[in-house]
Chains A and B, each alone.
Chain A
Amino acid sequence: MGKRQREEEAELEREEREADAHAGKFLPSQIRNKCKRSEAYAKVKLEKKKAKKQKFKQRDAADKEALELGELPPPRKIPRTIENTREADETVAEPDDEELQAEVGADEFSNYFKHDITPKVLLTTSQQNSVPTRKFCQDLLAVIPNCFYYKRGTYNLKQIVKYAINREFTSIVVINENRKEPNGMLVVNLPEGPTAHFKLSSVVLGKDIKGHGRATRHQPELILNNFTTRLGHRVGRMFASLFPQDPNFRGRRAVTFHNQRDFIFFRHHRYIFESREIKEKKEKLHKADPKKAKEKKKQPKEEVITRLQECGPRFTLKMMSLQHGTFDSKYGEYEWLHKPDMDTSRRRFFL
């Protein structure tokens, strides 16, 4: 439970108490015997629960009534979340902005979107690497098409960047590790940059996902969610430049980068549209609810359903810096660098 929610509830309770006291009611908190107090309190709580249930029931009934009358159901209240109460941001990119389009049309990634270049990715690890990192790399190889794993050896990154430019790679992905766990990801766009450094966390390999599938070699579809600001737009384009821009829809593979509160969640799925008969069993299940069963009977016996299967891996990224040009952590120029004084509000996001 969030702090705000707690506070709100506490305030509500206090108000109620005050109202009760005003009306001359006896409050559970005034009882000194703990046993009796808890009894009284349990009663109050139960009443509250009932009231809540009643409220929802009424709401559902109102919805249903509206549906039957062919009207729009009464609007539902939108819960306040951190995302929808985020600080006003002037950097949000408007799609119809002329300047944005002009820049996007000529930036480092524009060649991928014009189909001039097909991405070719070099994947490697940190100099000291262990089995979990290499396994994670193996999973990534299955996700990114046209991706090649290279043993890191003792080369430094600047050497690798030069090598990769000569071999016409378009991106380098480096997985860093700490205590034998992958903890960092560096994405370098070639040959001119930029370079993004992400913190990598919550890594789950495909093998460890329950009911996981195996990815095919088709080119995946790409889903980039919620990259709204100018910086987010750029980072989103950077991710897009790792994948070919002509997805093979027959493969029904989808790769998702979902941004929420500046955390980028990576998921890899396979989906399928299935048309199948409605089984008898299902009807039995609905017998308890005769109305629903009737509705079901009205529908055709065949229906198309969408099923989703996760292929893995699963991980979360958080951007630490975006550097202008190729990798040069010491003498490089930063386009965006996370600094502690940015973290003064929970409702400020940059992507």
Chain B
Amino acid sequence: MPRTLKVDLPGVPRIRAFCSDSLGLLKVIESEGESGTPKVIGRWGDPDTQQGVLCMSLSRDESPSVAVARKSNTVDVIDPVNGLLESRLVVPKTSAGVESNREASDAVCGLHLFSEKSPWGKAVLTCTELGDAVLQALPELNEEQRPKSEHILSRWSVSQTGCVLCMAVDASEQFAVFGGKGVEVSVWDIKKGTRIWNAKAPHRDNLGLMSPAWVTAVTFLYEDHRKIVVGTGHHQVRLYDTSAQRRPVLAFDYGEAPIRSVTKDPDGFTVYVGTGAGDLACFDMRTGKLLGGFKGKCAGSIRSVACHPTLPLIASCGLDRFFRIHNTKTRQLLGSLFLKQQLVAVLFHTTQDKTTSAVTIAQDGSGVQSKVEEPMTPNENEESVSEKKKSKRQAEEDYEERKGKKIKPKKETGEAEQEITTNGGLRNAESAEGAEDEEVPPTNVETTKKKKKSKRQSTKADGEVLGKDSAITGEKAEKPSKRPESDESLLTPGKKEVKKSKSRIQDMDDINGAEEMDRVELSKVGKSGKKFRKAK
């Protein structure tokens, strides 16, 4: 008999995910058991191309909601458990006076649903292709469906030219980053609607040509709002560090097709990149090295990638109408599902079991969220971070055990981590690095510590300046002041210069002034040393 059987896929652990498509349907996918096949267990909405989904967002709450932006310029907030409509709001149309030769439309290109613990409660931030960013409070369900001025908390224009294509909001839900075709990456303070940072165009190439800005995907790397990973239409992945310079600190090419999606891993340095030709790969953003590609006969453009907060899983979907789940450790295809339509966005809904709820909440980033409101010593925060790290590892181990491969718990790494946390308070990205680099000779570690010490003063000052920059609204200065160490995870040559020069302006009061100074000094730095480091 000829071999007509398919090779069986290993199966997916217990997950719940949402996939939305061009017909406006929201499909609930679940897999049961330790290695089940994913199945569609629910379909919400009626097939209608006018209601096609453009973006999707999951709030970082204990019991999250899903927001779905549609082609008809409405945003539906849906309860992810039963699919009931919680609230519906209309995205205001941009007023007249728009240049006709602009290719952008009124379509929503970025959506974020804020958690209840955010500074403005449950609200939705939308951005249209024309660059009209609107922060709206959620109206009651029965209210008349048209944009009302009292619901609009904040509104600003990201760009007067070009076409905005992507948006991301950081873990503290206070900053948003935008990018697009002809729109350079810029970070905005959501509450005030002011731009706090924007990128510079990269250097001219060896032919003396400028490549026009074309940002197609953007995400914040880990939890602070200073590191931004960006994918461009010119198949380049870039890492921006807003505290270092306005040009990318790291840039490398991937494939030959435009990059369509960039998603961060909770570990703080891995990034998953999907392209328009259906290639999916993960990169280490500390070095810019390719960790490996994901196979699975992906035939079409990957529009969206979602990373599971606790399990080592990613889900991807795109124009080839398939929903796929890969293991991030082995990079193996675990399961795939044909969902009939061209898919737009995918999300993981972390199941809120009593046993795992703590883990999932912490990983959602809402744990940090809650602590932003109340003053807190840096130590506490570090503990929470280390706890989170542990809980994640525990979850992963559990997963491995369930799979039948028992792994010995790494005692040494745990100790090392604790030491670090009690010592100086390193962030996750770094502790992970420390855990990994056990073989690194102790001398090397010492040198890095010295570096840290020498830098600590300058970085503190830098933190203060930036704190003023962003914390007018009553945000604590602890956040920025505790983060400079995390810079170490992405050490770039010539960074010291920046920090020293920054310390000079620490007594500046005016934010704008500080910003201007920033620019001036950065331009100096740009002249003095080569910042733009290419991976290849």
Q: Known contacts A324-B319, A333-B319; is A102 also within 8 Å of B301 by CB?
A: no
Q: Which residues of A contact B276 (CB under 8 A)?
A: 331-334
CB-based contact B301/A90 at 8 Å: no
Q: Tell me the smallest distance from the CB of B516 to a CB of chain A, in Å.
A: 36
Residues of A within 8 A of B300 (CB): 333-337
Assess whether A331 is in contact with B301, with CB atoms less than 8 Å apart: no
A85 interface hit (Cβ, 8 Å): yes
Asked if A87 contacts B6 (CB within 8 A), the reply is yes
Determine, out of A42-50, A169-177, A299-307, A339-347, the stretch whose residues face the partner at the interface: A339-347
A305 to B452, CA, bound (A): 94
Which of the 9-residue segments B336-344, B457-465, B522-530 touches chain A? B336-344
B48 within 8 A of A: yes
Task: Assess the A88–B6 pair: CB atoms within 8 A.
Answer: yes
**Chain B 295-320 near chain A by CB (<8 Å), digits 1 or 0:** 10101110000000000000000011
In chain A, positions 53-98 with a C-beta closer than 8 Å to chain B are 80, 85-88, 90-91, 97-98
Residues of chain B contacted by A342 (CB below 8 angstroms): 297, 299
A residues 101-157 in Cβ contact with B at 8 Å: 102-103, 106
**Interface members, chain B 231-280 (any A CB < 8 Å):** 233, 256-258, 260, 276-278
* Closest residue of B by beta carbon distance from A347: B4
User: A residues 319-333 with Cβ under 8 Å of B?
Assistant: 324, 330-333
Contacts A324-B301, A336-B299, A342-B297 known; A97 to B277 CB distance under 8 Å? no
Count, A-B residue pairs, CB within 8 A: 85
Contact of B349 with A by CB under 8 A: no
- State which residues 11-68 of A face B: CB under 8 Å: none
Contacts of A100 in B (CB 8 A): 340
CA–CA, A88 and B277, complex, Å: 25
Partner of A334 from the list B6, B47, B301 (CB cut-off 8 Å) is: B301
Q: Is the CB of A99 within 8 A of B4?
A: no
Task: With both chains docked as a complex, state the minimum distance between the C-beta of B321 and any C-beta of chain A, in angstroms.
Answer: 6
Question: Contacts A80-B2, A98-B47 given: A334-B257 contact, CB under 8 Å?
Answer: yes
Contact in complex: B301, A333 (CB < 8 Å):
yes
The verdict on B160 contacting chain A, using a C-beta distance below 8 Å, is no
Query: Once the chains bind, are A339 and B297 in contact (CB under 8 Å)?
Result: yes
Residues of B within 8 A of A336 (CB): 299-300, 319-320
Report which of A80, A88, A333, A335 forms a contact with B258, defined as CB distance below 8 A: A333
Inter-chain contacts of B379 with A (CB < 8 A): none
Question: Does B130 sit at the interface, judged by CB under 8 A?
Answer: no
B6 touches A335 (CB 8 A): no
Q: How large is the interface on B (under 10, 10 to 19, 20 to 34, 35 or more residues)?
A: 20 to 34
Encoded as 1 (CB less than 8 Å from any B CB) or 0, chain A from 262 to 300 comes to 000000000000000000000000000000000000000
How far is it, in angstroms, between the C-alpha of A339 and the C-alpha of B301 when the chains are bound?
Answer: 13
Is the Cβ of A341 less than 8 Å from the Cβ of B25? no
Tell me, yes or no, whether B23 is within 8 Å of chain A by CB. yes
Interface positions of A from 230 to 282, Cβ below 8 Å from B: 230
| Chain B min CB distance to A107 (Å) | 8
With the chains together, A85 CA to B301 CA distance in Å? 30
Residue A4, interface by CB 8 Å = yes
Query: Contacting B297 at CB < 8 Å: which of A90, A98, A331, A341?
Result: A341
Given A86-B4, A99-B47, A341-B297, A335 and B342 contact (CB-CB distance below 8 Å): yes
Bound state CA distance, A88 and B6, in angstroms?
A: 8
Residue of A at shortest CB range from B279? A339
Q: In the assembled complex, which residues on chain B have CB atoms less than 8 Å from the CB atom of A335?
A: 299-301, 319-320, 342
> Which residues does chain A contribute within 8 Å of B22, judged by CB atoms?
103
- Of B3, B4, B256, most buried by chain A (CB within 10 Å of CB) is B4
Given A91-B321, A102-B47, residue A337 in contact with residue B277 (CB < 8 A)? yes
- Contact with B341, one of A88, A90, A99, A338 (Cβ below 8 angstroms): A99
Closest chain B residue to A4, Cβ basis: B2
Among A4, A99, A347, which residue has the most Cβ atoms of chain B within 10 A?
A: A99
CB proximity of B250 to chain A, nearest CB, Å:
23
A291 and B339 alpha carbons, distance in the complex (Å): 59
CA distance A273 to B341 in the complex (A): 43
Contact, CB under 8 Å: A90 / B338: yes
Give the distance in Å from the alpha carbon of A67 to the alpha carbon of B283 in the complex.
Answer: 71
Contact with A along B1-34 (1 / 0, CB 8 A): 0111010000000000000001101000000000
* Closest chain A CB from B43 CB (angstroms): 9
Does B49 have its Cβ within 8 Å of any Cβ on chain A? yes
Q: A82: nearest residue on chain B (CB-CB)? A: B2
Q: What distance in Å separates the Cβ of B50 from its nearest Cβ neighbour in chain A?
A: 8
Q: Please, which residues of chain B bring their CB within 8 A of the CB of A334?
A: 257, 276-278, 299-301, 319
Nearest 4 pairs between A and B by C-beta? A102-B47, A106-B49, A333-B301, A333-B276
Given contacts A99-B341, A103-B49, A335-B319, 5 further A-B contacts (CB under 8 A): A87-B4, A331-B257, A333-B300, A333-B319, A334-B277
Q: Can you give 11 contacting A-B residue pairs, CB < 8 Å?
A: A80-B2, A86-B4, A88-B6, A90-B338, A91-B321, A230-B338, A331-B276, A333-B258, A333-B260, A334-B276, A335-B299
